[in-house]
Amino acid sequence: MARYKNIDTQPRLLAVDLSRQLLPGTFEHALNHLLDHAIDLSHFDARFQNDGTGAPAYPPALLLKVVLFAYSQGIVSSRQIERACQEHVTFIALCGDRAPHFTTIAKFVSSLGEDIARVFAAVLAVCDEQGLIGREMFAIDGVKLPSNASKHRSGTRADFERQAAKLEAAATTMLQRHRVADTAPTEPDPDTKATRRVERLEHDAAQIRSWLANNPTERRGPKGTLRKSNRTDHDSAKMATSKGVLQGYTGVAAVDSPHQIIVEAQAHGTGAEQELLVPVVTATHALRTADTLITADAGYHSEANLKALAAMRVAALIADNEMRRRDERFATQDRYTTLPNPLHNKSAAPSPSSPCFTPNDFVYDADARTCTCPAGKSLYRKGRANMTKDYVGEHFRGAKRDCVPCALRAQCLRTPDTTAVRDVAFFRGRVESAARHPRETHTMRMKMRIDSAIGREQYGRRFATVEPVFANLRHNKRLDRFTLRGRTKVDGQWKLFCLVHNIEKLANAGYAA
């Protein structure tokens, strides 16, 4: 019988050179070289005051290495990162067998703030040195992701006032029942469950009252419109997506076209993408040139945004909602249309065909300017001319003496019980006014630019530039939600994921190989 060597898959002691575990050309090798030799992390020193006393701190480079490598592997939990630093050889090589505690990792990630923005800018500088930023086109897009907050805790201050009053009323009612039971001649059994319910109701009501006291003002949009707040995460927002309504943030990225480098990354607690275009474009000022083209989809289109871009003298192609309808290449797109989305289709259901008489059933004499109804009665004309949306014509109305006793009321009026007489209008054409010579707007100029042959070719490259970036972050890196609360913390976590993408691009380009 053949004999084989015993293979121990769980050896306890291994003579391993950790530096050789980071193979050139890999993400971890580029990450290690980048944070050790190319990026200045001295701004992290202000976090510590242990020059003379106190325990030594973990180097920021070590924490950034393990966090960014964990994010590249789809690991976000600080406990899982700590376990990987104890068991995974690549993590051990990055942290030098100095596994940080999960509380240290969690505190570091949640407190990055402005420091991670500096690291992001430094990595962009390295990408620029390597020739990975072409500055031909920056494509802007965003993704809506849930955050660490419950959408059931969203509402206005008036909503929260009603919730608190309802909880307090329920607690008061239950307490009154207890007092009535206490006055009974027999000793009642202690109702522990009911007592705990009263305590829970009072606690929830007190939490709402405390939140209202700490947040005395409503949350409003840039135009002053009222927005719902969230008691778990005040900076997050309710957003309608194709998957349903979620409570979270919008992660926006501006992507350079040649090598798909993310040149700007921001997270905002709003689902209105129109508000995010100008801040992102402004943030890319240092990297843009006079010839850099900004592209974005219809979600970022508004007359105000186009006017702001024109004032900034930024070349842009921002699609409008009707762009595809004007493009003959999408003439057959309706064949792929499924049922209307109830989250976005807010229009009323179409009414059934009405049996009422239409204007075609009336006899209209344009020369004599008279009208006769299907019952043979003459209608009187209202005024000399009728103007409706720049269309001019005649407006006729029936007389009560004719309409009220008419046998055809049910066929002539939609609501014969409440409507006394029938109105009908006939239009001759559009007036020679602003309708014939409309005022030129930024939207009209953008439509002409994007409908041109070169505009369609340039805008067509937007999809291939920005969508693969979000596919990499969402699918490959398994980014399906933000785990932190507060815009500053979520913005830092979004920049961490975008850093992973950019460092991958550096590694694939042969950086430090």
Segment 437-484, tens digit of pLDDT = 556 789 989 999 999 999 999 999 999 999 999 999 999 999 999 999
Query: From CA 274, how far away is CA 164, in angstroms rounded?
Result: 35
* Closest to 261 (Cα-Cα) out of 117, 466, 56: 466
Residue 275: both structure tokens together: 């508000």
- 306-320, 356-370, 499-513: range with lowest mean pLDDT: 356-370
Tell me, what's the pLDDT at 19? 83
Q: pLDDT tens across 160-181, in order?
A: 778 778 777 877 877 777 676 6
Averaged pLDDT for residues 280-304: 93
- 163-172, 176-185, 243-252, 357-366: range with lowest mean pLDDT: 176-185
The single-letter DSSP state of residue 290 is T
Stated pTM of the model: 0.75
Query: From CA 100, how far away is CA 402, in angstroms rounded?
Result: 91
Query: From CA 263, how far away is CA 450, in angstroms rounded?
Result: 24
Query: From CA 380, how far away is CA 393, in angstroms rounded?
Result: 14
Averaged pLDDT for residues 196-206: 79
Tokens 């005022």 belong to residue: 439
Q: What angle, 0 to 180 degrees and rounded to 10, lies between the N-to-C axes of helices 114-129 and 487-508?
A: 20
Query: From CA 426, how far away is CA 395, in angstroms rounded?
Result: 7
pLDDT of 52 > 90? The answer is no
Q: pLDDT tens across 9-33, in order?
A: 877 677 788 888 899 999 999 999 9
321 CB-contact burial (10 Å; exposed 0-12 / middle 13-18 / buried 19+): exposed
* CB-CB contact of 208 with 163 (8 Å): yes
* CB-CB contact of 247 with 470 (8 Å): no
Tell me, what's the pLDDT at 438? 56
* CB-CB contact of 397 with 359 (8 Å): no
Residues in CB range of 274: below 8 A, 6 or more apart: 299, 300, 301, 302, 304, 305
**Could you report how far apart the first and last alpha carbons of the chain are, in Å?**
48
Return the half-sphere exposure (C-beta side, CA atoms, 13 A cut-off) of residue 484: 23
* Closest to 299 (Cα-Cα) out of 186, 90, 139, 141: 141
Residue 239's φ and ψ, nearest 5 degrees, are -135, 140
- 68-72, 107-111, 184-188, 491-495: range with lowest mean pLDDT: 184-188
Q: 3-state class of 7 per DSSP?
A: coil
CB count, 10 Å around CB of 268? 23
Query: From CA 276, how far away is CA 448, in angstroms rounded?
Result: 24
